[in-house]
């Protein structure tokens, strides 16, 4: 029997999720001074202790370990929180984060594998840190500094490492501060993404998902034809989005009239 592959043509709005995780530090034994020593043995690997995820211009969910019924102070078990992150990513087409390529997704993948979860889906990553570096020349690409520079907001201030230690001991107020901090980071990351988006030249085309005409980076149909985009062998109509300002080329090439070969 020959199995025929069913090809489903799916048309939908792309699901864009901004995500940020908080993690616990690794703990281990060591001898000597804390600034000049190697760890001899791990006691506990770091885990995910909180996440904040926001659908683009939509709902935001922020959870920390203390929100789970089986939470006990002093004990870290991220199995349920990792499963919740997995469920969210399953629904996403595009994931956005600040340093998401180097940190968040690799960390999340480590925890997916640790808990024997399959890869959640195929998704595209947009890293606001990488994009900020590609687009702008600044002295710092930290989220807080970028927020400040672009006047789009700041990270929430907190007491530093002691907040993590207080959370570990079960201090509810510290967990609450951690949650607010995580929540604000995700809001700021989404704002940064929207600010940088018109300048991104490798943004996944959103109009391919929805099969609509319009700006590929913001889906607006308020676009204006402005000149031509020329490649080495062809030329295309050029457009500018009147909502976000992004420039792009049309998909159908303009016909070039071929002149008869004069050498014959």
Among 82, 88, 126, 218, which residue interacts with Zn ion (rule: CB under 5 A)? 218
- 16 near Zn ion, judged by CB under 5 A: no
What is d(CA 107, CA 213) in angstroms, rounded to the nearest whole number? 37
Judged by beta carbon, residue 138 or residue 208, the one nearer Zn ion is 208
- Helix ranges, 48-142 (H): 79-90, 105-114, 128-135
196 lines the binding site for Zn ion (CB under 5 A):
no
Which position among 154, 220, 240, 253 is part of the footprint of Zn ion (CB under 5 A)?
220
- Supply the minimum distance, in Å, between the C-beta of residue 241 and Zn ion: 3
Minimum CB separation from Zn ion for residue 242, in Å?
8
- For residue 152, the minimal CB distance to Zn ion (Å) is 18
To Zn ion, the closest distance from the beta carbon of 218 in angstroms equals: 3
56 forms part of the interface with Zn ion (CB under 5 A): no
Q: Smallest distance, Å, CB 142 to Zn ion? A: 27
Candidates 28-36, 41-49, 91-99, 207-215 — which segment interacts with Zn ion by CB under 5 A?
207-215
| Residue 191: Cβ within 10 Å count | 17
Rounded to the nearest whole angstrom, what is the least distance from the CB of residue 127 to Zn ion in the complex? 20
> Given the complex with Zn ion, which of 135 and 165 has the nearer CB atom?
135
Least distance in angstroms from the C-beta of 238 to Zn ion: 14
- Out of 20, 129, 246, 248, name the contact with Zn ion by CB under 5 A: 246
Nearer to Zn ion (CB atom), residue 61 or residue 200: 200
132 forms part of the interface with Zn ion (CB under 5 A): no
State yes or no: residue 244 binds Zn ion (CB under 5 A).
yes
Q: In the 3-class helix/strand/coil scheme, how is the chain assigned residue by residue? A: CCCCCCCCCCCCCCCEEEEEEEECCCEEECCCCCCCCCCCEEEECCCEEEEEEEECCCCEEEEEHHHCCCCCCCCCCCHHHHHHHHHHHHCCCEEEECCHHHHHHHHHHHHHHHCCCCCCCCCEEEEHHHHHHHHCCCCCCCHHHHHHHCCCCCCCCCCCHHHHHHHHCCCHHHHHHHHHHHHHHHHHHHHHHHHHHHHCCCCCCHHHHHCCCCCCCCCCCCEEEEEEEECCCCEEEEEEECCCCCEEECCCCCCCCCCCCCCC
By beta-carbon proximity to Zn ion, the closer residue of 82 and 241 is 241
What residues make contact with Zn ion under the rule CB under 5 A? 215, 218, 220, 241, 243-244, 246
């Amino acid at each position: 029997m020959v199995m025929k592959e069913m090809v489903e043509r799916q048309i939908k709005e792309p699901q864009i999720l901004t995500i940020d995780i908080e993690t616990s530090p690794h703990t281990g034994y060591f001898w000597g001074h804390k600034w000049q020593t190697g760890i001899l043995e791990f006691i506990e690997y770091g885990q995910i202790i909180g996440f904040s995820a926001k659908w683009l211009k939509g709902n935001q969910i922020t959870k920390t370990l203390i929100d789970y019924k089986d939470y006990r102070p002093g004990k870290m078990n991220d199995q349920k929180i990792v499963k919740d992150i997995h469920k969210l990513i399953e629904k996403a087409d595009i994931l956005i984060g600040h340093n998401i390529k180097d940190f968040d997704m690799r960390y999340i993948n480590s925890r997916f594998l640790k808990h024997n979860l399959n890869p959640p889906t195929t998704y595209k990553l947009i890293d606001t840190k990488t994009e900020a570096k590609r687009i702008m020349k600044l002295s710092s690409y930290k989220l807080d500094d970028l927020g400040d520079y672009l006047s789009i907001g700041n990270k929430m201030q907190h007491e530093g490492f002691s907040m993590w230690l207080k959370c570990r001991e079960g201090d509810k107020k510290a967990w609450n501060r951690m949650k607010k901090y995580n929540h604000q980071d995700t809001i700021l990351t989404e704002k940064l993404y929207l600010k940088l988006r018109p300048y991104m030249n490798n943004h996944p085309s959103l109009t391919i998902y929805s099969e609509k005409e319009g700006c590929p980076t913001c889906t607006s149909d308020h676009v204006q034809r402005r000149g031509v985009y020329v490649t080495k062998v062809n030329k295309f109509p050029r457009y500018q989005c009147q909502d976000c300002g992004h420039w792009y080329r049309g998909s159908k090439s303009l016909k070039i009239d071929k002149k008869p070969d004069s050498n014959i």
